[in-house]
Amino acid sequence: MRSGGNLMDQDKSGLVLVLISSVLLGIWATMNTIALRNILLWVGALIAIAYWWNWFKTNKANHTYPSLSGLYWLAVILIGLMLIWVVIHYFLFAQNPQQQFSELKSTWLRSFLAVIISSATGLALNRNPRFMPWLWLGFLLSFVVLIYQYIPKAIAKQSLFAVDYFGDYIFWAKFNGVLAGTILIAGLLGLLMDSIWRNKAVGNAIPLGITPDQKITVHPNSAVVKVGMMSGIAIPIYVFVGICIATYAFVFIFDAKVGVGIAFILITFWLGIGLLFILKNAASEQDKKRRRAFLMKSLIVFSLAVTSLTWLTAKHIKNNPGWDSLFEDIAISAQIDTYQSWKGTGAALPLRKDGTSVAGNTYERVAFATLGMRLIALNTLGNGSLRSFRDDVKKIAPNYNNHHYTHSAWIDLGLSFGLPGLLFLPIAFISLLVCAALNPQIRFRATIITTAIAILILYLVGEYAFGHSVEMLFYLAGLLCGLTLVDYAKLGPHYAY
């Protein structure tokens, strides 16, 4: 079998793109990194353009253009249309041209560069699946730094909880940490499930890049497969450590209900599928000794994951009693005409049936989302500027004195760019999710599915329609397009990690 070094020598540009992406992802949501981000985006975009050009030339020479589904093209077109619409809006419908132009040459330009880099990175990962673990390393290292900063704070407080929303952590404000941590968890879960599926799918087939005279042994029911840069047994450890660090940060550093909720959804989603996978493969194993060994190892990992998730969730719920009345709070908070605490004029929060106040963060999210949808209906083209919620609300409620965002990035994008802003990107992510779910030949099915679910939920309930959050959104959209691109039926069997 070829060594990892020789394999890397075949696609140095692809490895460079993955490493640039890893660094970008690791620093994108951290403080004081704008200069480095700009350098990496421009350098990475130039490398990505050259990478795409070489790919097109090779396919043209070999007459091997991929055949792609309508869902894939729908996603690509919608992402492109969103970027085009932002430019058209400035020239034809801008209400604050100076601010909109400033955002065009900063946030939106970086978003465009991010799409170029990430789509080429996705292509590079398709051609070199063994590079995938490196993509999430930047995120993981940023959380290692976060834990290093957290430990002395926790010791000083003599408590596991060391929440400091606007302190000197590497992530300023908890929503940045939740953004980075959610993507990290989604990426690592996808990495693990893709490696399991791929190992099972490969069986004793010969992976791409391995000639018939080179030997490779694959055990379908084992996580141990050594191809390229990381052995299969290392991937579960890598994933477990990363997910534990991010989830721990959600509970004890950020005290983030959204982060814990999304992590719970993603992990339980794959735990359910994983349990079905374990039972199916145990039933198909004829050798009793191997079946018992497989069941024992799988159930130990499964139990460890469930125990860790249960403990962390219990700690978070104990520190956030609002979970037990969530649905009642949502129903009350949506009545924005009856309860107008959202105006920020000092009015008390509405009361539940038992006489207690609804949870403040739940009230804000629901009330602002309801109000935001009402405003989009009044201005279906949007105003063209990011974080414009406050200005829009003042047009119907002059006394409004509260946040300039709705806590929902999708709704905020709808306020900025109308129905296209509200619909284009969510539909693109849904299209890529469905495309991956329906096509078993896509190498990174789990990564695409998990990341798409995470982004759809996170940007629905998080205040991410500004600056670096928009750039990261477009980066992930481009990455999933790149990961969905290649026609695997023409390329041969799946790689193993």
Would you state the pLDDT for residue 212?
A: 36
Q: What is the pLDDT of residues 69-119, one digit of tens each?
A: 889 999 999 999 999 999 999 999 988 999 999 999 999 999 999 999 999
Q: Are 461 and 365 in contact (CB under 8 A)?
A: yes
Q: What is the mean pLDDT of the chain?
A: 83
CA dihedral 147→149→150→156, nearest 10 degrees, is 150
Give the mean model confidence (pLDDT) for residues 382-408: 89
Element (H, E) at 490: helix 488-491
Q: What is the pLDDT of residues 317-336, one digit of tens each?
A: 666 666 667 788 888 888 98
Q: What is the pLDDT of residues 412-463, one digit of tens each?
A: 999 999 999 999 999 999 999 999 999 888 889 999 999 999 999 999 999 8
Q: Which residues contact 221 (CB under 8 A, 6 or more apart)?
A: 200, 281, 285, 290, 294
Lookup: tokens for 178: 């939740």
Would you state the pLDDT for residue 433?
A: 96
Would you state the pLDDT for residue 359?
A: 80
Q: Report the alpha-carbon distance of residue 46 to residue 43 in Å, rounded.
A: 5
Nearest to 72 by CA among 438, 430, 414, 432: 432
From the centroid of its chain, how far is CA 423?
A: 18
Q: Report the alpha-carbon distance of residue 366 to residue 372 in Å, rounded.
A: 10
Write the DSSP assignment of 193-253 as a string of letters.
HHHHHHHHHHTTPPPTT--TTS-----TT-S----TTS-TTHHHHHHHHHHHHHHHHHHHT
Q: What is the pLDDT of residues 112-171, one digit of tens each?
A: 999 999 999 999 999 899 999 999 999 999 999 999 999 999 999 998 888 877 778 999
DSSP 357: B
Q: Are 292 and 298 in contact (CB under 8 A)?
A: no
Lookup: tokens for 327: 């649905």
Helix 70-92 vs helix 409-438: crossing angle, to nearest 10? 160
Would you state the pLDDT for residue 224?
A: 35
